[in-house]
Amino acid sequence: MSSSSTSQRAFAFRQAPLPSFAHLRRLTDDTGLLEHALGRVPRRREGYTTDDNARALWTATEWLSFGEKTIGEENARELERLADVYLAFMLWAQEDNGWFLNNFAYDRTLEPEETSHDCQGRSIWACADAWIRLSGPRRETARTIFERTLPTFGGIVSLRGQAFAMASCAHVLQASQEGAIDLPLDVKSELQHHLTRLEAVLCRAYRDFSVASWRWFEPAMTYSNGVLPWAMLRTYRFTRRPETYRVGTESLLFLVEAMTAEEGWLRPIGNEGWCTNDSDAVSRWDQQPLEMFKLALALREATVADRLAEHENSRLVGSARGHGAGDSPADRGGIRPAALGRSALEGGFALGGRQRCSYAALRDLCRDWFYGANDLRVPVADPEDGSCCDGLTPYGPNINCGAEAALSYLMTEALCLRK
């Protein structure tokens, strides 16, 4: 069978206009979202993680933000019920000092663990987003949980945790600026302090490791890579700092290059060996759905950031025309208009030397990966129940459909639904 007919067979798998949330319901009990499954049956013995419940809260918030007209009344009511469960889990998992515990057994007892700084940042973002975008009493619960995390911002040391915290600061401050939430002055001042500090931390990490052949924040691309350029671009949306935009864009372009197969489709960096700056090889297996979601997230944010950068360029150019020599935006400490106004795409990304894509088209290719635009040309997600295989191996999809994979699939679908 030709590759084109195989692709058509795989893509015919996606028929429903929206994915189902049945598998998300299946994995969720009165306590929260269970972490693992055997096939599509929840493995209760494996228990729960705050990581997954934070992702689930974010997913529920994302889909509810479309409104009943788009997702339907039945889905809206179900997602509201699930959001209540995930909020209750976040409230339960948070200690009095604001830090989140992460791993819980099925009997609700805490499992031995060290503090997860990635989990802390991810949880902060999920609660900030719920505060801003959910409606009714849920917003106050999310606000309370978020505000209790403020003393922890300075203690987060993992880069991804810091990225989430930075993006959360920008998200909340922008929502306050736009009148979506009321933010006390002391909280606003604290968030602005952490935003400035973390923006400098991420930019410094990029400067420390970035060279001509390696445009990244670390000496290796490991997991959840798209979070880093996404956080930079989400932060740029509020701060409008040229370096933040440049770092976000350059790192995203480099990530896309690393995640592009020679044949032209997208390929997650496999967790068997990652991708390092001292090797030309990129690990091919095992491919995780999370990587496609995080890349789609960064690409979606890049679309917004690119429009803002072009607008900012137009504003700076207009301002420069009204000043004499020596008083241009560049002379006043800003970026040169030509540098900021040039679209990061420059006509699109080249994929496998065959096609050129915009940010939006690339984002849609992330979704297509779930339906067969991948190395094995097989679907890994089922829109009929919203389940997704845990990964792609050389021998085929991992048939287990746990929480992280399902949420990655549902979030990617939501991101691609936005125009």
Distance CA 177, CA 106 (A): 42
Angle made by CA atoms 89, 94, 95, in degrees to the nearest 5: 145
Cβ burial of 187 (10 Å; 0-12, 13-18, 19+) is middle
Domains of the chain: 3-324+348-417 (1.50.10.10)
Q: How far apart (Å, rounded) are the C-alpha atoms in residues 265 and 351?
A: 7
Integer angstrom CA distances of residue 244 from 196, 202, 306, 352: 11, 9, 12, 28
pTM equals: 0.89
CA pair distance 90, 144, nearest whole angstrom: 11
Three-state SS at 37: strand
99 neighbors 154 (Cβ within 8 angstroms):
no
Kind and range of the H or E element at 31? none
Name the token pair of 65. Answer: 């933000």
The pairing of beta strand 349-351 with beta strand 275-276 = unpaired
Q: Mapping DSSP to helix (H, G, I), strand (E, B) and coil, where does residue 7 land?
A: helix
Phi then psi for residue 331, to 5 deg, are -65, -30
Q: pLDDT at position 342, please? A: 32
Q: Which of 268, 252, 366, 372 is nearest to 301 (CA)?
A: 252
Q: What is the dihedral of CA 211, 214, 218, 221, to 10 degrees?
A: 180
What pLDDT is stored for residue 2 in this prediction? 36
What pLDDT sits at residue 13? 53
Orientation angle between helical segments 117-133 and 73-93, nearest 10 degrees: 140
At residue 331, the pLDDT reads 30
Sequential DSSP letters for 300-366: HHHHHHHHHHHHHHHHHHHHHHTS-TT-STTTTT---HHHHHS-SSTT-EEETTTEEE-HHHHHHHH
Q: Kindly give, in sequence order, each residue whose CB lies less than 8 Å from that of residue 350, ignoring residues fewer than 6 positions away.
A: 356
Q: Hey, what amino acid is at 314? A: S
CB-based contact 65:133 (threshold 8 Å): yes
| Tokens 């419940």 belong to residue | 53
pLDDT at 224: 94
What pLDDT, on a 0 to 100 scale, did the predictor assign at position 396?
95
* Mean pLDDT per 10-residue interval, the chain, length 419 residues: 40 69 98 98 97 98 97 97 98 98 97 94 98 96 98 98 98 97 96 98 97 94 96 98 97 95 90 76 87 98 93 69 41 28 42 64 96 95 97 95 98 94
User: Residues 67, 97: contact at Cβ < 8 Å?
Assistant: no
pLDDT at 328: 30
Are 54 and 123 a contacting pair, CB within 8 Å? Answer: yes
